[in-house]
Amino acid sequence: MIQTARLRNLTDAPVRSEGRYVLYWMQAAQRAHGNAALEYAIAQANELDLPVLVAFGLTGFPEANARHYDFMLRGLAEAKRLLTRRGIAFVLKKQPPEALIRTLAADAALVVCDRGYLKVQRTWRAKLADGLDRRLVQVEGEVVVPIDVASAKHEYAARTIRPRIHRVWDEYLRPPEEVAVRRPATELAFESDFDLDRPEAIVAGLKVDQAVGAVKRFPAGETAARAQLERFLRQHLARYGDERGKPEAGVASLMSPYLHFGQIGPLEVALAVRDSGVSEGVATYLEELIVRRELAINHVFHATNYDSYEVLPDWARRTLADHAGDERPYLYSRAQFEAGATHDPYWNAAMLEMRATGYMHNHMRMYWGKKILQWSTGPEEAFETALGLNNRWFLDGRDPNSFTNVGWLFGLHDRPWGPQPVFGTVRSMGANTFKKFDAPAYVREVERLAAAEGDQTR
């Protein structure tokens, strides 16, 4: 049973029992297990004695490049294999999703979709719902607490959303029950537009930024995600509380690329952590995974200009404008930042980690971004540089977390601090950062990781 707070009818149209299948439009939740929308579709299909068809529309996604598509397509190839094993049909077409789903809906009893919070995801769902003569049910499985339950308004900071989430999270920390398919999709034959067993060939044919290549550090797909989660629970969770601020310690879970592409769900991760039997680290981890991540989602949902400088709080824009004329200790262009060509070896190492491996430790992300603010000609240019690089190179970029955390660099979800040149009262980060961890060890680790990737992304 999926909790009713996770369900929303996006059309009032009826279920058409004469349909040939129940159609699940897979978009945000790209996995065959631990997927509330999929389990809901199966349960509905079982009641109607129909098979399930899962469809994916491959289309241009803002800022997506070869690195992102490679990871996504490898994950979808695995999802297809696992769905087939469960008796579910899968089709992928090179088409805008709302157009593909509208066509396939003509033979569906009802359509089920997952929920996404970015503008493009919301627009697709609204376009599909417009005039659709089948019931369209949205299932919200990519957050622990459904966002409208957590809060009906744009929250100010972690401290304002935290008590609201804590109040209800036990109620929502329940996995979607896996439902066996009653009617296997043997009679449904749909041809995909691509051979998913050859993701490199598909990516090579896409008109996207090919200069940002695939990475080896993160093997794609839900099995890899679960293996990494297991490793984290066994080896690192107990140290996470004390050492998560140390980039060289390697105790982060590396879940963010998998969460971004829906190759694993936050409920599965949260439950595994809560029930791990480890006592240390659990509360700190759940704070990041649930409170911080869902605060970011609250932000992009309520502030649809999340990708523009104007989204920042008034006090922050005012103080940054007051200090726009301050002399910068160093000045770099976006190209110099992107090349990792600053005077600072730690900053350059962070940029190398990002470029070569698609990831950076949270603590270094903070330092990396604060220095872009300090070393750019003005705060608006710094915002564009930070967001542009973030979304280009990170596998987990283009996420609610991307927009919200880049905003945080410029005062979002934060409060005024003691005034500093350039930053004004926006929080700064300086040389003290490196007193708290072994920065040379971090640089060595990045060099090792980058060498393991080979030359193509450097």
Ligand X SMILES: Cc1cc2nc3c(=O)[nH]c(=O)nc-3n(C[C@H](O)[C@H](O)[C@H](O)COP(=O)(O)OP(=O)(O)OC[C@H]3O[C@@H](n4cnc5c(N)ncnc54)[C@H](O)[C@@H]3O)c2cc1C
Minimum CB–partner distance for residue 183 and ligand X (Å): 36
Binders of ligand X: how many residues, by CB under 6 A? 27
Residue 256 within binding range of ligand X, rule CB under 6 A = yes
Task: Report residue 288 as tokens.
Answer: 């990041």
Minimum CB–partner distance for residue 232 and ligand X (Å): 7
User: Which strand (E) or helix (H) includes residue 57?
Assistant: strand 52-57
Minimum CB–partner distance for residue 201 and ligand X (Å): 28
Minimum CB–partner distance for residue 186 and ligand X (Å): 38
Minimum CB–partner distance for residue 387 and ligand X (Å): 9
**Closest CB to ligand X among 134 and 392?**
392
Minimum CB–partner distance for residue 128 and ligand X (Å): 26
Minimum CB–partner distance for residue 261 and ligand X (Å): 11
Write the CA distances from 163 to 147, 160, 373, integer angstroms. 14, 7, 32
**Closest CB to ligand X among 241 and 416?**
241
Write the CA distances from 62 to 85, 253, 269, integer angstroms. 33, 27, 27
Q: Which stretch binds ligand X (CB under 6 A): 18-26, 191-199, 201-209, 403-411?
A: 403-411
Residue 299 within binding range of ligand X, rule CB under 6 A = no
| Beta bridge mates, 54 | 24, 90
| The residue count for the chain | 458
**Closest CB to ligand X among 22 and 296?**
296
Q: In sequence order, which ranges of 173-313 are alpha helices (DSSP H)?
A: 199-204, 222-235, 237-243, 256-260, 266-274, 282-286, 293-302
**Closest CB to ligand X among 87 and 388?**
388
Given 135, 226, 292, 323, the residue binding ligand X (CB under 6 A):
292
| Whether 195 contacts 47, CB under 8 Å | no
Q: Which stretch binds ligand X (CB under 6 A): 64-72, 284-292, 305-313, 445-453?
A: 284-292
Given 149, 237, 282, 289, the residue binding ligand X (CB under 6 A):
289
Given 43, 83, 145, 406, the residue binding ligand X (CB under 6 A):
406
Residue 265 within binding range of ligand X, rule CB under 6 A = no
User: Which strand (E) or helix (H) includes residue 319?
Assistant: helix 314-322
Residue 397 within binding range of ligand X, rule CB under 6 A = yes
Give, as ranges, the residues between 195 and 254 that touch ligand X (CB under 6 A). 244, 252-254
Tally of CB atoms within 10 A around 254:
18
Q: How far apart are the first and last CA of the chain?
A: 48
Q: Which stretch binds ligand X (CB under 6 A): 133-141, 213-221, 392-400, 439-447?
A: 392-400
Burial class (CB in 10 A: 0-12, 13-18, 19+), 185: buried
Binding mask 359-378 for ligand X (x = CB under 6 A): ---x--xx--x---------
Minimum CB–partner distance for residue 217 and ligand X (Å): 11
**Closest CB to ligand X among 394 and 423?**
394
Spatial CB neighbours of 386, under 8 Å, sequence gap ≥ 6 = 369, 372, 373, 406, 409
From 108, 292, 216, select the one nearest 449 (Cα to Cα): 216
Given 138, 348, 402, 425, the residue binding ligand X (CB under 6 A):
402
Write the CA distances from 318 to 386, 408, 423, 425, integer angstroms. 20, 15, 11, 10
Minimum CB–partner distance for residue 294 and ligand X (Å): 8
Residue 439 within binding range of ligand X, rule CB under 6 A = no
From 218, 200, 217, 199, select the one nearest 453 (Cα to Cα): 217
Residue 290 is classified by DSSP as I
DSSP string, 348-366: HHHHHHHHHHS---HHHHH
| Whether 259 contacts 133, CB under 8 Å | no
Task: Report residue 79 as tokens.
Answer: 């999802």
Given 259, 273, 356, 382, the residue binding ligand X (CB under 6 A):
259
Give, as ranges, the residues between 303 and 362 that touch ligand X (CB under 6 A). 362
User: Which strand (E) or helix (H) includes residue 7?
Assistant: strand 7-9
**Using CB under 6 A as the criterion, which residues of the chain lie in contact with ligand X when the complex forms?**
244, 252-256, 259-260, 288-289, 292-293, 296, 362, 365-366, 369, 390, 394, 396-397, 399, 401-402, 405-406, 409
